[in-house]
Amino acid sequence: MSDSDVGKRSGAVCPFLLILPALAFLLIFYFYPLALLIPQSFVDKGVSLRQFARLAADELAVETLLRTVETSVIVTALTLAIGYPVAYLIAQVRARTAMILMAVIVMSFWISILVRTYSWMVLLQRFGLVNQTLMALGVLNQPIRLMYNQVAVSVGMVHILLPFVILPIYASLKAIDSNLVAAAVTLGATPTQTFLRVTLPLSLNGVAAGVLLVFVQGLGFYVTPMLLGGPQTLMVSSLIDRQMFSYLDWQYGSAISLVLLFCTVVFMLAFDRFFGLETLHRRTA
């Protein structure tokens, strides 16, 4: 074996060794519990699809699943509508200002989701800051209900998931060659035309990455919908928790979990079909 062959093999082994700890963590804490969960969905005095038939006939479960998907779509759209302009602004300002703004965004990851959710509860409660401000300004005569509805859930989830849209879009915007924008301006394009024909198309991979991160996380959100939404806006994660730990119906809870996993996989496959998962890191890095 030549020295070049040895070098190639050692070069292939080193990246594998680097990801081995993360791979072991996933195998132990994700894939192993999942491997235990899947059989329970099909076992009911033998192999059976009874739990899935029960799920299809359960109006509450079907409504909850549809509400979860709808909420994820709404939150994804809102985070994209807010996050893209913010990322574009950060990409245009001076380096020092951009560094400060990015530090503020990244600092949100240091604060617990539970703490941020409780903060929104303080703001949105009946006599919270929002209602008191609106009444002080004369907009309202009495407090309105801002919690335990879809609006509160969406606001809380958007606040938590917004950085996951801003960061990949910002990375894709910074990766755009400035000469392309300059060339468009030289050829007579207006700022709007330059954005629509150059900047936006070249940043779509960052948009796609943000959409993927937000939508998939939204499907499994638990704490924020439970605290800000209550029973009126039950999400699939809360339904699974109720079935497994309140009713001790692990078979039915496992079936619901498997359906949620199936929805996630379908979205990932559709995403890969149109955008390509393997291109996201390369084009947004």
pLDDT higher than 60, residue 4: no
Instruction: State what percent of residues in the chain have pLDDT above 70.
Output: 90
pLDDT at residue number 6:
47
pLDDT at residue number 283:
47
Round to whole Å and give the CA distance between 213 and 231. Answer: 26
What H or E segment, with its residue span, contains residue 174?
Answer: helix 163-174
Second CATH level (architecture) for the domain 48-284: Orthogonal Bundle (1.10)
Quick: pLDDT tens for 161-188. 999 999 999 999 998 888 888 888 888 8
pLDDT, mean of residues 203-220: 90
How far from chain centre, in Å, is Cα 76?
7
Round to whole Å and give the CA distance between 4 and 228. Answer: 60
pLDDT higher than 90, residue 231: no
pLDDT at residue number 11:
54
247: Cα within 13 Å, side-chain hemisphere: 12
Nearest-Å Rg of the Cα atoms of the chain is 23
Tokens representing residue 195 in the block = 């954005």
- The answer to whether the CB of 244 falls within 8 A of the CB of 250 is yes
pLDDT higher than 60, residue 7: no
Quick: pLDDT tens for 35-67. 777 787 887 766 778 888 888 898 989 999 999
- Tell me the whole-structure pTM to 2 decimals: 0.84
- The answer to whether the CB of 260 falls within 8 A of the CB of 65 is yes
Confidence of residue 280 (pLDDT cuts 50, 70, 90): low
- The answer to whether the CB of 157 falls within 8 A of the CB of 224 is yes
Round to whole Å and give the CA distance between 132 and 87. Answer: 32
Please state at what angle helix 50-57 crosses helix 32-42, rounded to 10 degrees: 80
Domain extent listing, the chain = 48-284
pLDDT at residue number 279:
55
- The answer to whether the CB of 169 falls within 8 A of the CB of 83 is yes
Quick: pLDDT tens for 237-273. 889 888 888 888 888 888 898 888 888 888 888 887 7
pLDDT at residue number 31:
81
| 47: three-class secondary structure by DSSP | strand
Round to whole Å and give the CA distance between 275 and 259. Answer: 24
Report the helix count and the strand count for the chain, using DSSP H and E: 17, 0
